[in-house]
Structure 1
C-alpha cells in the first residue's frame, strides 16, 4: 500500500462534518468516541493522579501545533512506559513524506490567531492499519496534572502536535494505559505501512565477529539511504531490570531511535590517527526521555571528539548537551546493544527511480478446525490457509510479512504465537498442498509471540512458492494479513479447498 492510498474513517467519524457541526453549535468539539474521562486513561481509577483534561489554550498563551517546523528532538516521553512509541515518532520526523501522511494538512490544522472562529478543538491523524490508511479524529482535551501534560510533550512548551498524535494512537487501542509497553516495530509499521524486521545481535555474533560487523554496518548504511527507520534496545532480563541505567548510561528494557549511521573523518591519518584508523564507523541514537545518554567514548564532551575534524562535527550537527541524542562507535554499539529493529519502506510505485517491488496482499484468518491447523508438528498443519506466488528469475529475492490482527488493551497485547513455512512447489500447481514432504522447504520462520514476522530471502531460484502461515497450536482463531514483495509480477494467489474441489484465486 502506498503513501497516498485512500483513507478510511475510524469508527465512521468524518473530520469535516464533525468540525462543521461543532462550529454551528458554537461549542468546541468533544469526542464522544474517546471522551475525556478515567476510562480513556486506564482501568485503574486514579492511576495517573488527579487528572484534569485541558485544552492547549488553557495551558499556554499562544498554543501552536508546530513551532519552527518538526524535528526528532521535539518529542519528550511522559509518565507512561511508551518509549517504543516515542522512539518511533523521532524516526518518523526524519522521513517527511510519511510524517505528512500521519499528520495530514498541517497548515490547515494549525491555530490561526487571526481566525479564532475557525478553531473548533478538533484534529485528525492517519495510521496504517492492516493494509489501509485510517483517519482518526480527536478533540484537543489533554490529560494534565497541576497544569502540565502528563504524557508525551514537546521540548518547546507551546507545541502540541506530539501530544495530540499520542492521543489519537491511544484512541485506537482504547486508552493511554494500553500504550504502556510495546514494540518499536509496531508503531513504525502503523506510521508507514512498511515491513519490519528484528535482528538479534547476540545470536548473530556481531560483538565478537568483525566480518559480521562489517556486513551489518554496510547494510545499515544502505538502509539509512533508503529511509529505513531503525531502533535499538538492550532487553531487560527481569522486571527488576526494566529501565535500569547501566554504568555507561544506557537503559535496559528501553527503545532508542537510530538517527544516523555515518563514516566520521579524524584529524591526521595512519599511525597518527585515533585507533590507527583514518575513518571511524559511527552510529547516532536518541533516548526518548530527552536525557540519560551514553557516557563512554564519544559521549558528549569526551576527549575523543578532539580527534574529529571540525568539518565533520559540523556535518553531523554535533550538539554537546544532555538532550538524549548521542554518538558511539559502531564497535561499541555492537558490544552493548542486543536488538536492532528495522522498518523498510517498500516502494511499489512504477514511476520511481528507486528499487520497485511488486506487492501481493491478502487478508486471511485461522478459523475453526479446518482452517487453524497449528504448526507442522501437527497433522493438521496443511489445513491452514495457503498462498502461492511466482519468482520469475533465478538468483532473485522476495520479502514476506505475516501480521496478525491482534489488539492492545490494559492487559497488554493479545498476540498469538505465529510463524510460517515457505515451500517451492511445481510451477503449474494451482491447488493446495497435501503433503509437506513432497516439497522443498525454502524458509521456515521461527514461531514468535509477536504481532508481525518478516523474512527477506535472496538468491532464490525461479519458480512457484507456497506460504503456509499458522499459529503454533491448532484451533487458535485470529485474523491476519500476509504481504509478499517480489522484483517482478508475482501472480500472487490464495489457494483454497471448497466442497472437495480445489480453486485458486488471484489478487
Structure 2
C-alpha cells in the first residue's frame, strides 16, 4: 500500500481522540521540547516514475561489505530464504509443517537470544541496551521512514524522557495473577485495535504465555514472538520506556484553566515532589500501561512496535489482524447485515468465544450511547440463558462505557445477575450489552479462528504482474488434500506495516474461487467470503472455510485489483531521498521489505518485467523503423510516378519546340535562297520561284504553309513581292492574316480561310516611290531584305508542374498508414499512462489449513506472470 500522509480512503479503524490520564484533578502544563527536524526534504523529481524496488536498493547496498551480510541476523535470514526459493525453479517460498512448528522454532530462537544477552551482561555487569531499537538513540523509534509521528504526538509534544522499568515502578512485576483485560489501558498511541486484540487473547492464559517467551528483569531483557506473513518471528527488547514528564521539565499547576484564553490560576507547589510523583507508576508512561505495577503490557507493545519498525507503524488497524499476529489464526471481519441466520451465528460462532474463536468489535464511525465512534473493543465473554443473550466487552481506554440496556446502573440488573456474571459497577471500561445491541452498534465483527496442533498448514508464495484491467489471472494455485475434513484457505499478501515508506504507490485487494479439478467447469465450490479487514482496498488477506472438503486436487483461481495513488512516492524515490540522511532507518526498513518480498521472489519478477520492457521497446523501435521504411518506399514510388509524368510531357514539348526551330531555320534558308536567285536573274526576266514554306509558331505549336511567289519583271516588284508573302489557297488563314498585317496588306483580302493569288494581292498594293531616306536605308541594307520574322527567338516550352495535371489519388495523394492497423501494446500503454508505465507486481501467498490431513500446494503460472 502506497501512502505518503495522503489517504484517499479512510484509515482502518480510525483512532478516536484518546483522553490523557491525569493522576489528580489539576492540569499539568509542560513546555514543549525542541522540535525534531526530520521533514526537511528536498524537492522531489516527479518526472521519472519507477515502481521497482531492487534496482535502487542494489545501488544503495553497493558498498555494503560482505561481513555485514554474514553477521546481520536479518541479512542471514534473507540469504537463507533466497536459497530455498532458488531451489524451487523461480517459484516463491514453499512451507509445509504443523501449525505449531513455526512457533516452536521462533520460541527456541528467542530463548537463545535472551540467554546469550544475559550471559554477556552478567559478564560485563551491565544492563541490556537494545541498540537496534534504542529509544535514546533518536526519533526513529517513534517515526516512520517518511518522518510521520503517531497521531497523538501530532497534538501534543513528542516524549523525550526515557527511564527503565525499575526507575518507574516501586516493585515492578511482569504479571500479577496473569494477564487480564482489565490491566489494559491505552496511552498516546493510536493502537486501540492492537490493545483490543491483547484483551481478547488475555481470556486464554496460554495465548499470552505463548507470546512472552523469555525475560530477565534484573538485566532488563525481554523476548517475545509474533506471527507475521505465515511464520512466527521473535523480537528482543530492553526495558526502557517513554515518560510523560521528564526531570528537566518545568511544570505548573493551574486551576480554572481556559483553553481559549490559555490562562488560569497558578498554584504553588514543591516541584521535585511533583516530578517524582508524576514519574512513578503506570500512569507515568507515555504509551499503554497497567494501573498496577504490572509491566507486561507496555513491554509487549514496545516489542510489537519494534517488530514493525516504530510506534507510528502500529497506528490504526483491525482487531482481527491484531489477533492474527498474536495467535497465528485466520482473522476475518463480518458485517452483521450479511449474516443470514443470526441465531445460527450466535450458536455456531459467537457463543464459542475464547474456545474455537476470538472476537472483537469495531464500532460505527459516529458513536452513540457511550460507544466511541470508530473504536475497537474486545469481546471477553458470552452468556446465554433462555432468550437472554449477553456479551461482555471492554474499552481499551479503561473507561467510557456503554450506556444502554445492561450498562452499569441499568434497571435490568439484579443482585442475582450481578453475582452470576461476576459484574461490578464502575467506570473501568468493562460492560455488558445484549446480542441485539451488539449487532446494531458494531458493524464490524472481528473474528479469528484458532488452530491447535491437530492442524497442518501448507503455504506457497509467488509474484504476479497485475494487469490494468481486472479479471481472474492465468496464474493459479493447486492444492491436494489427502483426507476428507475441514479446510481453511487464506490468500494473503505481506503485511506492509513494517516496511512503510517502501511499499510504493500500489494497493492491492484480493479475491479467489476454488474449483475441484475434473468437475464441471464454471461451478466453484467456495469463494473468498471474508476479508481480514473491513476495507477491501487495504486488507492483507481473504479467506474461506469448508467444514468437510473431499479428498482430491483443487484449483484456486484469483484476481488482484490494483489501485495506484499518484500522490504517494515510489520505493525508488524514497530510497534515493533518504539514502544519505536516514541511512540506518532505510537499511532497517529495506531489509524487512526485502525479506517479505523475497517470499514471492519479487527480484526475479522485476527483472523479467524489465527484460520484457526492453524487448517491447526494441520491438516498438523496429516496428517504427519498418513503418517509416514502408511509408518512405511508397512515397518514393509516388514521387517516381509524378516525375515520370512530368518528364514525359516535358520531353514531348521539347521535341515539338526543337522541330519548330528546325522548320523555321529551313524556311529561312529557302527564303534566302529565293532572294539570291531573284537578285541574280536578268532584269525584265520572269523568275519562277520555288514554293516557300512559311512557318508560324505560337507557343510550342508550329504550322507551315506553302506559298508560290511569282517572279516580277522588275527588281522593285520582285523585292516588294518578297515582302508581301501571302498564303496560297487552302492554307491557314490566321497565318496569312498575320503576314498580311505585318506587310500592310488589308485584312479584307483574307476571308473564309481562302487567300487571293499573289498576283491579285500585289496588284492591289499601291507602290510609291521611296523617299530619299528610305532609299538610303535600302542602300545601307545593301539590297538585303529584312529577316526580322526569323531572327525573333521562339518561346521556349513552359515548365510543367504537378498542378498542371488532373488530380490522381494514386499519385498525388499523401501516403498514410492503414487506419485499421492494430496499435502495439506499448502504444496503448503510452496512450493511457504516458511516460509513467503500469508496473504493478504483487507478492502473494496461499495458506491451506487442514485437520488430520496433508495439503500439497503448487503454483501453475500463466502468461501474465513476470
Give TM class, smaller chain.
0.7 to 0.9
141 and 342 in structure 1: CA distance in 2 versus 1, 3 angstrom threshold = same
| 1:229 corresponds to | 358
Cα 1:145–1:294 change in 2 (3 A) is same
The answer to whether the aligner puts 1:485 opposite 2:849 as a matched pair is yes
Tell me how far 1:191 sits from its aligned partner: 0.9
Count of matched residue positions in the alignment of Structure 1 and Structure 2? 433
1:361 pairs with 458, 461, 477, which one? 458
Residues 330-357 of structure 1: CA deviation (Å, up to 9, x unaligned):
11212221110111111342xxxxxxx4
1:12–1:295 distance in 2 versus 1, CA, 3 Å? closer
2:452 corresponds to 1:347: yes
Q: Name which of 309, 317, 330 aligns with 1:195.
A: 330
The equivalent residue for 1:153 is 289
C-alpha contact (below 8 Å) 1:424/1:439 kept by paired residues: no
1:77 is displaced (CA, Å) by 0.5
Consecutive unaligned residues in structure 1, runs of 5 or more? 112-118, 206-211, 265-277, 350-356, 428-436, 500-507
Q: In structure 2, what is the equivalent of residue 440 of structure 1?
A: 523
Question: Following superposition of structure 1 onto structure 2, how do residues 166-185 of structure 1 map, counting pairs within 5 Å?
Answer: 166-185=301-320
Larger Rg: 2
Find the partner of 2:517 among 401, 405, 425.
Answer: 425
Matched, 1:457 2:546: yes
Match of 1:27 in 2: 126
Q: Deviations over 1:88-127 (max 9, x none)?
A: 111121112221110124xxx364xxxxxxx211111111
Q: 1:498 to 1:301 in 2, by over 3 A?
A: closer
Q: Is the 8 A contact 1:301 1:320 kept in 2?
A: yes
Residue 194 of structure 2 is aligned to residue 96 of structure 1: no
Show the 5 A alignment for 1:103-502. 103-105=212-214, 109=215, 111=217, 119-146=218-245, 147=279, 148-156=284-292, 158-204=293-339, 212-224=341-353, 226-236=355-365, 241=366, 245-246=367-368, 248-264=369-385, 279-306=387-414, 310=416, 312-349=417-454, 357=455, 359-366=456-463, 371-373=464-466, 377-378=470-471, 381-382=473-474, 384-390=475-481, 392-393=483-484, 397-408=486-497, 414=503, 416-426=508-518, 438-445=521-528, 448-458=537-547, 463-473=552-562, 476-496=840-860
Q: CA RMSD in A?
A: 3.0
On the 8 A contact 1:9/1:135 being kept in 2, the answer is: no
CA–CA distance in structure 2, aligned partners of residues 79 and 497 of structure 1: 47
Q: Secondary structure at the match of 1:301?
A: coil
Contact 2:514 2:554 in 1 (8 A): yes
Determine if contact 2:185/2:398 at 8 Å carries over to the other structure.
yes
2:129 alignment partner, SS class: coil
Normalised by the length of structure 2, the TM-score is 0.47
Using CA pairs under 8 Å that are at least 6 residues apart, name the structure with larger relative contact order, 1 or 2. 2
Checking the alignment, whether the CA contact within 8 Å between 2:196 and 2:396 is kept in structure 1 is: yes
- Measured in 1, the distance between the counterparts of 2:109 and 2:301 equals 16
Distance 1:444 1:461 in 2: 16
Counterparts in 2 of 1:487 and 1:56: CA distance versus 1, 3 Å: closer
Deviation of 1:8 after TM superposition, in Å, equals: 6.7
Give the distance between the partners of 1:68 and 1:444, measured in 2 at CA: 44
Partner SS, residue 471 of structure 1: strand
1:282 and 1:326 map into 2 onto residues whose CA distance is 10
Superposed displacement of residue 219, structure 1:
2.2
Q: Partner of 1:6: helix, strand, or coil?
A: helix
- Rate the CA distance shift 1:398–1:298 in 2: closer, same or farther, 3 A: same
What is the alpha-carbon distance in structure 2 between the residues aligned to residue 178 and residue 313 of structure 1?
A: 40
**How far off its partner does 1:203 sit?**
3.4
Per-residue displacement from partner, 1:278-335 (whole Å, max 9, x unpaired)?
54111111110111111011101111002xx62x432321121111111011112122
Residue in 2 aligned with 1:68?
177
Give the match's secondary structure for 2:182: coil
Q: Hey, what does 2:737 align to over in structure 1? A: none
CA contact (8 A) 1:397 1:460 kept: yes
Query: What is the rounded CA distance, in whole Å, between the counterparts of 2:111 and 2:208 in structure 1?
Result: 23
Residue 425 of structure 1 contacts residue 440 of structure 1 at CA under 8 Å; is this kept in 2? no
TM-score by length of 1: 0.78
Deviations 1:403-456 (A, max 9, x none): 2113215969955222222112128xxxxxxxxx94432233266521121211
Change beyond 3 A, Cα 1:483–1:409: closer
- Give, in angstroms, the shift of residue 498 of structure 1: 10
Query: In the superposition, relative to structure 1, how do residues 303 and 213 fare at CA in structure 2: closer, same or farther (>3 Å)?
Result: same
Give secondary structure in 2 for the equivalent of 1:23: helix
Q: 1:21 to 1:391 in 2, by over 3 A?
A: closer
Q: Give the secondary-structure state (helix, strand or coil) at the position aligned to 1:322.
A: coil
SS of residue paired to 2:402: coil
Q: Aligned residue for 1:271?
A: none
Provide the C-alpha distance between the structure 1 equivalents of 2:356 and 2:426, rounded to a whole number of angstroms.
26
Structure 2 match to 1:2: 100
Match of 1:505 in 2: none
1:39, distance to aligned residue in structure 2 (A): 1.1
- Equivalent residue for 2:141, pick from 40, 45, 49: 40
Equivalent pair of 2:489/2:849 in contact (CA under 8 Å) = yes
Provide the rounded CA distance (Å) in 2 between the counterparts of 1:24 and 1:333: 56
Structure 1 CA distance, aligned partners of 2:163 and 2:334? 42
Instruction: Report the 3-state secondary structure (helix = DSSP H, G, I; strand = E; otherwise coil) of the residue aligned with 1:154.
Output: coil
Pair 1:346–1:9, CA change in 2 (3 A): closer
Q: Which one is further off, 460-469 or 295-304?
A: 460-469
- Structure 1 contact 220–261 (Cα < 8 Å) conserved: no
Q: Give unmatched runs, 5+ long, in structure 2.
A: 1-98, 246-278, 530-535, 563-837
> What CA deviation, in whole Å up to 9, does each residue of 1:132-160 have, x standing for no partner?
3222100101011213101110021x221
- Change beyond 3 A, Cα 1:486–1:222: farther
Answer 1 or 2: which has greater helix percent: 2
Q: Do 2:159 and 2:286's aligned partners in 1 also have CA atoms closer than 8 Å? A: no
